[in-house]
């Protein structure tokens, strides 16, 4: 994984949705077996650049090539919500000791805060490098776990091995970039 950040070009229209990472296998009988690969959804970001100068496009293209298309991971900050507040982690099931935040890393100063049912949870331990919240004893079933964090970051990769772009009248570029969050470490 690269420790580089996606180029800071905040003039893109940004769309974010979730990806549950389900694997489906179809059989001749018509039965379809589905495996749930993650214990929570991953993020998928689409950045639509209407106008890029030659220098901006070259910067984006060089970053894409440096990461060998969809091969290598890097960091991305959602500039529409860099400091999430009261963001849902999970609904506790009464059994799990570790829960993965929807982000992959955050600043340790100021420290992130975890809430259980809207109140600060003093029993939670947070790994700011991975976004994993750990407990010595499982939180009770049905407890709503949420968090506040500063400078939230996602570990992502390019979704495809191509970089769709258009040259407009030889003076500027347009491009759409899709980034997907990689499988979280627990």
Q: Which pLDDT does position 124 carry in this prediction?
A: 95
- Which strand (E) or helix (H) includes residue 66? helix 54-66
- Domains, the chain, in order of start with CATH, read 1-82+153-186 (3.30.200), 84-151 (no CATH)
Q: Which pLDDT does position 157 carry in this prediction?
A: 92
d(CA 82, CA 123): 25
Contact call for residues 161 and 70 (beta carbons, < 8 A): yes
Sequence-separated (6 or more) residues with CB below 8 Å from residue 62: none
Q: Which pLDDT does position 97 carry in this prediction?
A: 94
How confident is the prediction along the chain (186 residues), in pLDDT tens digits per residue? 678 888 887 778 888 887 767 778 889 999 988 876 665 677 889 989 888 888 888 899 899 999 988 889 999 988 888 888 998 888 899 999 999 888 888 888 888 999 999 999 999 999 988 889 999 999 999 999 999 999 888 999 999 888 877 777 767 888 889 999 887 554
Locate tokens 């191509």: which residue?
Answer: 162
Q: Which pLDDT does position 49 carry in this prediction?
A: 87
């Amino acid at each position: 994984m690269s420790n580089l950040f996606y180029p800071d070009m905040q003039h893109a229209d940004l769309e974010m949705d979730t990806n549950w990472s389900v694997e489906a296998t179809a059989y001749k009988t018509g039965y379809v077996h589905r495996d749930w690969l993650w214990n929570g959804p991953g993020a998928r970001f689409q950045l639509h650049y209407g106008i890029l100068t030659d220098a901006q496009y070259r910067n984006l293209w060089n970053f894409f090539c440096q990461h060998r298309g969809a091969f290598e991971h890097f960091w991305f900050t959602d500039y529409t919500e860099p400091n999430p507040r009261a963001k849902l982690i999970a609904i506790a099931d009464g059994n799990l000791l570790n829960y993965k935040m929807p982000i992959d890393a955050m600043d340790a100063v100021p420290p992130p805060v975890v809430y259980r049912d809207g109140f600060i949870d003093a029993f939670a331990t947070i790994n700011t490098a991975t976004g994993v919240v750990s407990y010595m004893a499982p939180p009770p079933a049905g407890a709503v776990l949420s968090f506040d964090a500063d400078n939230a970051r996602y570990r992502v990769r390019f979704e495809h091995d191509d970089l769709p772009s258009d040259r407009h009248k030889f003076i500027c570029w347009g491009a759409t970039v899709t980034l997907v969050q990689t499988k979280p470490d627990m």
